[in-house]
Amino acid sequence: MLPFARTGGRFSPGLATAVVLFFPIGIACYWRAAADGRLSAGALTGSFILGALLMASPVVLLNIKSRPYFRQDR
């Protein structure tokens, strides 16, 4: 949803997928883990950090692909 907000409301197909699929499934998983007593503060924090790192990895890879170390045309 962040790219949608940053571009001033320009539609992205990923937005529909996030709202219809990923948010409900994610909320249901956290809800069920909390109901089962398996969701501690550490697990919640760790899952958010891991999720943020996984979401940021493609952006980081796109930004470093033109660095000399990664160029294979030499």
- Reported as a single tens digit per residue, the pLDDT across 31-69 is 999 999 999 999 999 999 999 999 899 889 988 988 888
What is the average per-residue pLDDT within 1-13?
Answer: 78
The answer to whether residues 60 and 53 touch, using CB atoms and an 8 Å cutoff, is no
User: What CA–CA distance (Å, rounded) separates 12 from 9?
Assistant: 9
pTM: 0.68
Q: Where are the domains of the chain?
A: 1-39, 40-74
